[in-house]
């Protein structure tokens, strides 16, 4: 019995050591030190050493909810990944040339990654361009028939005037992609405390701007506004909500764009529309949803309603067509969004990743 107890203790000690060593790997980023950061300490979203959503948002995964989630994942019979012969992307159509001043072009690169050429500037939004939306190179694999970016393909992006990040989850802020493109990027715009990850990955602090909700900054003739989202953050389960999450407004000379990042449906969409709308285009989350976590991911019908709340002319539904992070079929988000858009009279941009369109 004594030997058994000793063995158990040794195993537990080894597990704790390995557990802590794993989370020290670079891909997990860095936990911020808030003590001397007056901007974070004074943020209305920061309370008791972590960030919070506005209003009463219940996101706890209690025992019953957790059991339902496990049952949904293990009993799902939906086609969560597309058949290998399905045409879900077209890499041959990606246009890496910058557009002329005055022409705004948007290229969907898959999931929530977008390339936006506006007023002669190139922006990348949530550029998750590697094959695994995970800290480990074997989990959460990109669909085989999605776009797979080689190192040469990333170089073809050319000089990137700005990278805009919505939050620090692995399917939006990708360590491998940042390392490969960082020398091509002139500046990074991120919500509060997300910059700590970039600093650990070797980004010059002079190239990082952190913003709180409703803060604005001007850059190269463009206006960027960090706006609210209803979500959460964290790359390390021990430090949930250690950085802020957001949506973004991009305003050029002729067009105003909205990028939702990840968000549940909430009243702030109307507030954003009243303050910054009307929008020419809303690039909105539409995928990886479920009723069990609807507070933090919109259902497709809510995505369409959010476009109406924002007073946006057109919808580009993203956050799909690259990874399976929920239990719905791979093509359900787009089909449901199209049906609701037709019902409510919202114009939807019908493209697949790799295709560009001009406003």
| 58 pLDDT higher than 80 | no
Q: Would you say residue 341 has pLDDT above 70? A: yes
Cβ-contact 235, 169 below 8 angstroms: yes
Domain boundaries of the chain, sorted by first residue = 103-358
Flag whether pLDDT at 12 surpasses 50: no
Task: Inform me whether the pLDDT recorded for 22 exceeds 70.
Answer: no
The pLDDT, as a whole number, for residue 84 is 87
Distances (CA, A) of 206 to 174, 179, 187, 202, 221: 20, 17, 8, 12, 19
> In whole angstroms, what is the distance from residue 259 CA to residue 159 CA?
21
Angle at the Cα of 110 (from 109 to 115), degrees rounded to 5? 30
At the top level of CATH, the class of 103-358 is: alpha beta
- Lowest mean per-residue pLDDT among 75-84, 315-324, 345-354: 75-84
Per-residue pLDDT, 24 = 60
**Residue-wise burial string across 273-294, b where 16 or more C-beta atoms lie within 10 A, e elsewhere:** beebbebbbbbbbbbbbbeebe
Average pLDDT over residues 249-260: 97
Whole-number average pLDDT of the chain: 90
Which stretches does DSSP call E strand in the chain? 46-47, 50-51, 105-110, 113-118, 121-125, 162-164, 188-191, 208-211, 215-219, 222-227, 247-251, 256-259, 281-285, 314-318, 347-348, 356-358
**Across residues 204-233, what is the average pLDDT?**
98
Q: How far apart are CA 287 and CA 133, in angstroms?
A: 15
Measured distance CA(48)–CA(161) in Å, rounded: 36
Maximum Cα–Cα distance for the chain, whole Å?
77
**pLDDT at position 100, please?**
78
62 pLDDT above the threshold of 70:
no
Residue with tokens 């993203």: 318
Own/partner long-range contacts of 267-272 (Cβ < 8 Å, ≥24 apart): 267/55, 268/54, 268/227, 268/228, 268/230, 269/306, 269/309, 269/310, 270/309, 270/310, 271/228, 272/227, 272/228, 272/247, 272/310
Instruction: Say what the pLDDT of residue 21 is.
Output: 46
pLDDT digits (tens, 9 = 90+) for 263-293: 999 999 999 999 999 999 999 999 999 999 9
Predicted local distance difference test score (pLDDT) of residue 74: 62
């Amino acid at each position: 019995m004594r030997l058994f107890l000793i063995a158990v203790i040794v195993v537990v000690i080894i597990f704790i050591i390995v557990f802590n060593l794993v989370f020290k790997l670079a891909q997990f980023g860095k936990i911020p030190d808030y003590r001397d950061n007056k901007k974070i300490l004074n943020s209305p979203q920061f309370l008791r050493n972590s960030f919070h959503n506005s209003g009463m948002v219940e996101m706890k995964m209690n025992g019953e909810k957790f059991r339902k989630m496990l049952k949904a994942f293990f009993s799902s019979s939906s086609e969560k990944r597309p058949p290998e012969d399905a045409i879900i992307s077209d890499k041959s159509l990606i246009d890496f040339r910058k557009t002329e001043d005055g022409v705004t072009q948007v290229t969907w690169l898959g999931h929530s990654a977008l390339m936006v050429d506006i007023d002669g500037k190139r922006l990348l939004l949530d550029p998750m361009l590697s094959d695994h939306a995970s800290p480990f190179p074997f989990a959460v694999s990109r669909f085989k028939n999605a776009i797979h970016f080689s190192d040469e393909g990333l170089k073809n992006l050319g000089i990137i005037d700005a990278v805009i990040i919505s939050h620090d989850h692995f399917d939006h802020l990708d360590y491998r992609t940042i390392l490969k493109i960082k020398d091509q990027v002139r500046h990074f715009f991120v919500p509060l405390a997300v910059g700590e990850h970039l600093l650990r990955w070797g980004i010059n602090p002079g190239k990082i701007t952190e913003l709180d909700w409703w803060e604005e900054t001007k850059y190269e003739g463009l206006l960027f506004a960090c706006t609210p989202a209803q979500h959460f953050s964290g790359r390390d389960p021990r430090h949930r909500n250690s950085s802020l999450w957001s949506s973004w407004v991009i305003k050029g000379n002729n067009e105003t764009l909205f990028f939702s990042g990840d968000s549940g449906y909430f009243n702030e969409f109307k507030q954003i529309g009243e303050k910054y709308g009307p929008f020419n285009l809303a690039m909105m989350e539409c995928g990886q949803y479920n009723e069990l976590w609807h507070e933090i991911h919109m259902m497709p019908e809510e995505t369409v309603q959010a476009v109406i709340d924002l007073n946006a002319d057109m919808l580009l539904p993203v956050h799909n067509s690259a990874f399976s992070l929920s239990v719905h079929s791979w093509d359900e988000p787009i089909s449901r969004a199209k049906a609701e858009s037709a019902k409510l009279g919202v114009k939807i941009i019908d493209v697949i990743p790799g295709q560009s369109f001009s406003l």
